[in-house]
Amino acid sequence: MTTVGFIGLGIMGGPMAANLVKAGFDVIGYNRGPEPTRRLVEQGGRGADSLAEAVRDADVVVTMVPDSPDVESVVLGEDGVFANAKPGLLFVDASTIRPDVSARIAREGGARGVRVVDAPVSGGQQGAVEATLSIMVGGEAEDFEAARPVLEAVGRTVVHVGPAGSGQTVKAANQLIVAGTIELVAEAIVFLEAYGVDTGAAVRVLAGGLAGNAIFERKAAGMLAREFTPGFRLALHHKDLGIVQAAAREAGVVIPLGAAVSQLVAAMVARGDGGLDHSGLLKLVEQLSGRT
Ligand code: NAP
């Protein structure tokens, strides 16, 4: 039986670890706050009291933590993943972080005999719960094949997109598209409401045409009800738009609409709304339109 150490049992990591248990993996979960680990144990996993304990006996370690510095400290720290890895460990970072950081971690892993893939995910909390995530994987082809059973237990669309860091580059493009789409759906909703249109009916018909998109399917009902419990926190999307802006600049590519939506997301975070779901961008559109 493959033993998977799972670090970071938050909104995404919790259900992903539970799905690995369901798929028959021996899962040892670790989270700094103890409550999520307790939940995983209730769901049939094992709980570790320390990061080292979750890593020591693992064949595969998965991390699902917020940002690049978090992954760096969890993986490269004194008592981190690499320091406790058994020889030949397969390390899968599912967090969304900077592509250059993923590439560096892969190099450092290689130097210590750890196989590394970056495997950021898309599909949100619902995708994590339903094991239908889209997973974009960077790394060596044979390491991708080794990670495939774990990834297919939590995702439906699992694609190798290139060498180390490439998964993160594709995820950055994903976050650009998602933020832009949410902003346009929010603008459309506020526009339709200003005309007293039945927005539920409008969303149904729009979703069936060329304007159809996953935000209509997953987020529009919450937006119409002004229900912005995360889901995906604006603070995390702010982080991701920083990643895509820096990477685009590095490549000499301009993303003018991406830059505009980045500023709107930054405004939400700056005024203290970073804990809302990213569909909460609607609040800002309403306020800019003087409609609150
Ligand atoms: P979350 O609910 O905040 O979970 C993050 C987890 O990491 C928490 O359990 C947190 O628990 C732990 N953590 C935070 N900092 C840590 C550190 N320095 N060391 C060790 N553990 C740490 O976030 P999430 O929404 O699951 O997102 C996780 C990652 O997935 C992010 O990179 C995000 O961009 C990406 N993602 C999220 C979604 C989504 O819809 N939510 C979708 C796709 C991708 P403690 O603070 O108790 O340690």
What amino acid occupies position 273? D
CB 29 within 8 A of CB 45: yes
Q: Is the CB of 75 under 6 A from ligand 1?
A: no
What is the pLDDT of the chain when averaged over all its residues? 98
What are the tokens at 9? 């049992």
CB 48 within 8 A of CB 41: no
Other beta carbons within 10 angstroms of residue 10's beta carbon come to 16
Task: For the full predicted model, state whether its pTM sits above 0.95.
Answer: yes
Q: Rounded to an integer, what distance in angstroms lies between the CA atom of residue 38 and that of residue 5?
A: 15
Decide: 126 in ligand 1 pocket, CB within 6 A: no
Specify the pLDDT at position 223. 98
Provide the pairing of β-strand 46-47 with 115-118: unpaired
Helical spans, DSSP H, in the chain: 13-22, 35-42, 51-56, 68-76, 81-84, 99-111, 124-130, 141-154, 166-194, 199-207, 214-224, 234-251, 256-270, 281-288
Q: Which residue lies with its CA nearest to atom 9 of ligand 1?
A: 10
Q: Give the pLDDT score at 156.
A: 98
User: What percentage of the chain reaches a pLDDT higher than 90?
Assistant: 99
Give yes or no for a contact between 137 and 151, defined as CB atoms under 8 angstroms apart: yes
From the list 22, 86, 171, 239, the catalytic residue is 171
Distance CA 67, CA 280 (A): 21
- 58 near 35, Cβ under 8 Å? no
Give the model's pLDDT for residue 33: 96
Residue nearest to atom 40 of ligand 1 (CA): 124
Query: Which residues, at least 6 apart from 132, have a Cβ–Cβ distance to it below 8 Å?
Result: 123, 126, 155, 156
Other beta carbons less than 10 A from residue 194's beta carbon: 11
Q: Is 109 in the pocket of ligand 1 (CB under 6 A)?
A: no
Specify the ligand 1 atom closest to the Cα of 133.
43
171 is catalytic: yes
pLDDT, one tens digit per residue, over 25-76 is: 999 999 999 999 999 999 999 999 999 999 999 999 999 999 999 999 999 9
Any ligand 1 atom below 6 A from CB of 128? no
User: Rounded to an integer, what distance in angstroms lies between the CA atom of residue 53 and that of residue 57?
Assistant: 8
Three-class SS state of 232? coil
- What pLDDT does residue 29 have? 98
pLDDT category at 23 given cuts 50, 70, 90 is: very high
Question: Are 162 and 153 spatial neighbours (Cβ–Cβ below 8 Å)?
Answer: no
Is the shortest distance between the CB of 31 and ligand 1 below 6 Å? yes
Q: Which two tokens stand for residue 165?
A: 């860091």
Residues 189-204 pLDDT 10s? 999 999 999 999 999 9
Torsions phi, psi for 210 (to 5 deg): -65, -25
Q: Which of 55, 102, 236 to mutate to test the pocket of ligand 1 (most atoms within 8 A of CB)?
A: 236
pLDDT tens, residue by residue, 114-170 = 999 999 999 999 999 999 999 999 999 999 999 999 999 999 999 999 999 999 999
